[in-house]
A and B are shown apart, each in its own frame.
Chain A
Amino acid sequence: MSTPRFGLATAPRWLAPLLNYGAALPAIGIVSMAIADVFFGRSFMGADPIKQAEHELGEWTIRFLFASLAITPLRQLTGWNWLARHRRTLGLYGFAYGGVHFLTWALLDVQIGISEYVGWADVQKDLTKRPYIVVGMSALLLMVPLAITSTTKMIARLGRRWRTLHRLAYVIPALGVIHWGMSVKKDLAEPAMGTLVLAGLLGWRVMHARRSATA
């Protein structure tokens, strides 16, 4: 698969800057609008800007994780191998968005260490007794080793073990979607859509592996 099936033998010039810097724009927008709403009486994000920001950042986390999972199938379909180097960027953005989503929950929503009415006992209870939080936290924590070993140096150093470790990239988005589904009250339409996309992204890999094995 060395030559592209159609067009674009090399990456368009705007792609790298768009991904490297543009991907931060939604977070900057969401966080600054939420701050303007909460602390400056504005109304960009509706009546509950904190919840809104939390949910939007969570959705962007899933989007970036899906995007990084989409690179390989896209490459295989189009032959645009230059896409490969952006997989890491997208995955790292997924981690960053997950982190900001978590901080929004912890500091602005639950107000851990900020509200005098929220103590460590409450946090402990949240972290151990509430399944959707446990699942979300696990997803975030599992991303830490992946982020640490994402450097070119570490890839070289870990060799085969790197591939094994980074299989977690298939597990983490699944945890993210489960966390999403468990957190909604009743309307599962959006998490269900997420599940479909994820099934497509993972299903493609299974099919592709099978096809290459029989070919």
Chain B
Amino acid sequence: MPTIPRLPSSEITPESAWLDRRRFLAAAGVAGAGLLGAGALGRLAAAPQPQRPLGTPYGLQPGDEPTSYEDVTTYNNFYEFGTSKDDPAVEAQGFRTRPWTVRVDGLCAKPGNYQLEDFLKPSRIEDRIYRMRCVEAWSMVIPWRGIPLADVVARAQPTSQAKFVELTTLLDPQRMPGQRYDVLDWPYVEGLRLDEAKHPLTLLATGVYGRDLPPQNGAPLRLVIPWKYGFKGVKSIVRIRFVERMPRTTWAAAIPSEYGFYANVNPQVDHPRWSQATERRIGNFRRIPTLPFNGYADQVASMYAGMDLRRNY
């Protein structure tokens, strides 16, 4: 199993420094708003201050700073709660995440239905700061909390036939209003090759910024694969199934010419409607170059050796 080099702590912007930067920006903003004649004050004061420490950084590049809690929790795609990126934060309010059952089944020796608490109990919960790159060419840096998917795979003991893992979101149009419209083929299904699922970077997240996931971010359990485009990160997971064939994943099935099963971040392979060479980091103005495998090439590229990444996009 590949080891994960950690960034020396000297490379990480201390929380105090980036909080100071935000305060500076807020002050500048007040001045700017005054100049523009705009009276309303921003919501900065209301944003909860993150607990320290935020977690262990993985694969962060110089200059990478955690995206604000507010942006992380108010701007994301979660079509189960609406198709705009500001819908989920509104529409998912009050979504019940307890009790929650996770079913592990398929080609494995130890299938089972677990209450979420029992499902998580055997693992050590970790805080990890990852880069996140959306297929729409924007990106964030997110302090996640969760357990390695590898733990779950090891406990389930997949048989030798199992080649892929399929993860499925809750199907409940009563509680997930977006599912009342057939924008996508519900429920949302994502999948990984077994080796990808067992990779130590692959996380089943239960929290963000050291606290439980808010419902809009995929509570109570979601997938995080930092070297793949964000849509691979299936949310509100109720089922983890070991299968022999490549799962029919939602976006790849919806628009096969634009979204693939692998969805590895790759600046060389453009989306048909936009370039993937650069990205805009939420909270920053300037475009930055997109890195192969989103900056995690040293840890994951070997899994794809010999594959044509243009065809397996």
Contact = CB atoms under 8 A, between A and B. Distances in A.
Interface of A: 32-33, 35-36, 38-44, 46-48, 50-51, 108-109, 111, 114-115, 117-118, 122, 125-126, 130-132, 182-183, 185-187, 189
Interface stretch (B113-121, B155-163, B190-198, B282-290): B282-290
Contact of A186 (B26, B184, B270, B280): B184
Nearest to A130: B273
Contacts of A46: 74-75, 85-86
Interface size bucket, B side? 35 or more
A118 B278 contact: yes
Contacts, number: 97
Given A46-B74, A132-B273, A183-B273, A111 B286 contact: yes
Contacts of B25: 40-41
Contacts of A47: 70-71, 74-75, 85, 282-283
Given A32-B36, A111-B287, A43 B278 contact: no
Instruction: Specify which of A33, A35, A111, A187 lies most central, judged by the most chain B CB atoms within 10 Å of its CB.
Output: A187
Interface of B: 22, 24-26, 28-29, 31-33, 36, 38, 40, 42-44, 70-71, 74-75, 79, 83, 85-86, 136, 138, 183-184, 254-255, 270, 272-275, 277-278, 280, 282-283, 285-289
Nearest to B28: A40
B83 A186 contact: yes
B109 to A, nearest CB: 39
A130 B183 CA distance: 23
Nearest to B44: A43
Contacts of A39: 32, 285
> DSSP class of A's interface residues: helix, strand, loop or mixed?
helix
A53 to B, nearest CB: 12
Given A48-B75, A126-B275, A183-B273, A41 B286 contact: no
A32 B275 contact: no
Contacts of A189: 83
Given A40-B31, A41-B26, A122 B277 contact: yes
A122 B255 CA distance: 24
A43 B31 CA distance: 14
